[in-house]
Each structure stands twice: as structure tokens, then as C-alpha cells.
Amino acid sequence: MNSRCEIPRENLSAYIDGELNSEESMRVEEHLSTCPECRRALESLRRTREFLAGLPSESPPEDLRVELREAISGVAAQDVPRTVRGRRRGISLAAVAAAAALVLLLPVAALLSTQLMVPGHDRLVAESGDPLPAEAPNDVGIMGSPPEIEPEGDEEAPEETPGVAGAGEDTVVVRDSLTLRAHDVEWVSANARMIAEEMGGVLRKQSRTFDSRGGLVESILILDAPPEVTAAVGEGIMDMGTLVARTTEEGSEGDIDGTMELVISVERTPDVPPIVVEEEPAEAVAYGSPSLLAGEMRRSFSGSWIRFGAWVGNALVWVAGHLPHLAFFATAFFLSAGVVRLIRRRGFPR
């Protein structure tokens, strides 16, 4: 249907909104005069918009503003906005104390985490199952394949190791790895699929991996996707809010027709235990998805983490002998930092 019309259908809706330039508008008008089908479509879009315009504007309940005012003063009382505090007081004592405590705590925490790290550490991964290596999801179970799979002759892509780009001549396998929490996997992958299919991408295969308790650990979508679909899925998924940080570069600019492989997975215990990292950034990222950012940091810093790991290893030998003392000092520092902060926040009694 679309193919018969020389104007893109989406221009009809932009035309109603007055968001086309004059040349485009003219083309739409010209086309409308000859195409009854598009006239009907335009009318339908127009009515849809009128229905929406007919909805009354919902006004907030009267007490909401009061409540908001109180909530804001509540927040304000205990927390001056950060920039202001920084400017007024410079680097705070508490920050220095906390940093010192952290430096001391780090090796201890490292030691503890290597000692205590058990397979069940990541609650989302099966107790016994070794975590799936991030780069080779070949061993996933195919749990459900949708009705509209269209096997064609030369399709090898799903079988190939989906490394970044370059599976066959015409096939580009794009990997977008997103790191999410378990319950989000289903939601994001359903949405990703919706966006892709709506744009004419074809879902060729979907596999889901569960842990031993039946939690969804990973969902892989393999899509036959024209380039703009690849981009749209990337964008669309980002649009799921704070869920997802960034898709990989290859993912957002697929410039060749091909296959998109979308791996949506929960955060897993990484192969090389990057020790402290997982716990550390949790505080730093108040807004957004901690698990995701943690994942990103791990990726980009993995090189230095290995070096860091070696350093920690050496430190550990020394630390092991001094563990009780260190733990004591660290705790003391942490406590003092807390007290300093508390005083600062509440203020000295005048």
C-alpha cells in the first residue's frame, strides 16, 4: 500500500501538524488530490487527533501544590543543593574523611569480597550455573520462537558467533548489550520487538535463558533489520527511561541491511571478578540505573582493573597480616566521617 504512494505516509501526520516545509506540504497536497486512499488515511489521522484534543485537561488536586511545597522544603532543610554547598564551603571535611576511610577500607573490602564471594553472590544467576560469558551466548536455550519466523535459504547468522559485525557478506551482526535487572528484561525485550516489528523488521529468532529458579536472565532477539530499524530500536530502547544507558555504537548506526542481534540481559557476575567495583558505584549513581552504570564502568575500565587487581593482590598479602588493625582503623574513620557529616548537616547548636 505504501509502495504505491510517492509520499511517505508519516508526512500525512506531520502535514496535519503543520510540521512540513512548504515544498513537502505542496507535495502532500498534490498527492492527496489524486489518491483517495491517502485522503481517507489523512481524515482518519485528523479525527484521531480531534478525539485527543477533545479530552479535558486534568487539573491536579488542590492539595497537591501544598504537599509539593512541604516536600520541597523538607528536602531543602536537610540538603542544600549540591552546587551551592560546594561553592560555599569548598571541599568538605566529611568528604576528606570519607575518602581516607575508603582508601583504607578498599583492600579490606577486596580481601573480604574474594573470601566471601560465592556463586550465589549475584542473586540473579543460578547458584550452580556458571555465568554466561558476555561474548558468547551460543549455549542459550531456545525457549520460544514466535510464529512469524521466516526461514530463508542462506540464513546462517543465528548460528554464527555473534561477534561485533561481519558475519557474512550481507549480514552484519550487531550486538547491543544492555544490562538490566531481571524483571526488566521481559519488558524491554517486548518493547524492542514491538518497535522493530512496527518498522518492518522481522523477528527471526528469540531465545531466552532462565536460571535454575526460573528467573529470566537473558533474552536475545535476532531481527532482520533494515538500517533505520536498527537505529530506531536503539533509540526506542533508550526511551524506556532510566532503564538503559547507551546502546553500542555499532548498534545505533547499522548502515548495512542485515541482522540485528539484541542481547538483553540481567547483570551477571563478571568472569574476572572485578572485586570492589560492584559495590562502589552504587552510592555515586543516585539517578539512573546503578547496575547499568556499573556494567559500563566495568567494560571501559577492565584494562586498568586487571592492573589494579594485581596491585590489590600484592596488597592483600600484607593486609592479611594486619587485618584486625586495619578493620578497626577503617571503621573508626568511617564512623568519624559519619559524625562530621551529621554535625554539618544538622548544624552546631547555637
Partner 1 sequence: MNEEQLVGRARSGDIEAFEALVSEYDGRIYNMAYRMLGNPEDARDVTQDAFLKAYSSIGGFRGDASFSTWLYRIAKNVCLDVLRRRSRRTVFSLDDPMETEEGELDRQLAGELPDPEDALLDSEVRDAVKDAILRLPPHHRSIIVLRDIEDLSYEEIAEILEIGLGTVKSRLYRARSALSANLASLELFHHRGVGPGERREGQ
Positions in 307-346 near partner 1 (CB under 8 A): none
φ and ψ at residue 128, rounded to 5 degrees: -90, -35
Residue with cell 515544498: 23
Residue 187 binds partner 1 (CB under 8 A) = yes
Residue 60 binds partner 1 (CB under 8 A) = yes
Residue 78 binds partner 1 (CB under 8 A) = no
Contact 228, 141 (CB under 8 A): no
Q: Which stretch in 58-66, 161-169, 259-267, 298-306 sits in contact with partner 1 by CB under 8 A? A: 58-66
φ and ψ at residue 12, rounded to 5 degrees: -65, -45
The footprint of partner 1 on this chain (CB under 8 A) covers a number of residues equal to 75
Q: Which stretch in 125-133, 141-149, 159-167, 260-268 sits in contact with partner 1 by CB under 8 A? A: 141-149
Measured from the CB atom, the residue of 81 and 349 that comes closer to partner 1 is 81
Positions in 7-36 near partner 1 (CB under 8 A): 9-14, 17, 19
3-state secondary structure of 54: coil
Measured from the CB atom, the residue of 2 and 115 that comes closer to partner 1 is 2
Q: Which stretch in 2-10, 156-164, 257-265, 332-340 sits in contact with partner 1 by CB under 8 A? A: 2-10
Shortest reach from residue 2's CB to partner 1, in Å: 7
Strand pairing class (173-180; 258-266):
parallel
> Using the rule CB under 8 A, which residue among 48, 138, 212, 300 binds partner 1?
48
How far apart (Å, rounded) are the C-alpha atoms in residues 349 and 267? 46
Contact 271, 133 (CB under 8 A): yes
Torsion angle, alpha carbons of 127, 132, 137, 143, to 10: 10
How far apart (Å, rounded) are the C-alpha atoms in residues 282 and 291? 8
Residue 184 binds partner 1 (CB under 8 A) = yes
| Per-residue binding letters, 236-265, with partner 1 (x by CB under 8 A) | x-xxxxxx----------------------
Closest of 176, 190, 198 to residue 253, by C-alpha: 176
Q: Which stretch in 103-111, 169-177, 185-193, 341-349 sits in contact with partner 1 by CB under 8 A? A: 185-193
> Using the rule CB under 8 A, which residue among 142, 194, 284, 320 binds partner 1?
194
Contact 280, 301 (CB under 8 A): no
Strand residues in the chain grouped as ranges (E): 173-180, 202-210, 216-225, 258-266
Residue 217 binds partner 1 (CB under 8 A) = no
Residue 75 binds partner 1 (CB under 8 A) = yes
Residue 207 binds partner 1 (CB under 8 A) = no
Measured from the CB atom, the residue of 121 and 183 that comes closer to partner 1 is 183
Straight-line distance from the first to the last Cα atom of the chain, in angstroms, rounded to the nearest whole number: 78
Task: Give, to the nearest 10 degrees, the angle between helix 36-53 and helix 22-34.
Answer: 120
Positions in 267-306 near partner 1 (CB under 8 A): 287
Residue with cell 558467533: 161
> Using the rule CB under 8 A, which residue among 6, 79, 135, 279 binds partner 1?
79
Measured from the CB atom, the residue of 17 and 159 that comes closer to partner 1 is 17
Residue 151 binds partner 1 (CB under 8 A) = no
Shortest reach from residue 84's CB to partner 1, in Å: 5
φ and ψ at residue 186, rounded to 5 degrees: -60, -45
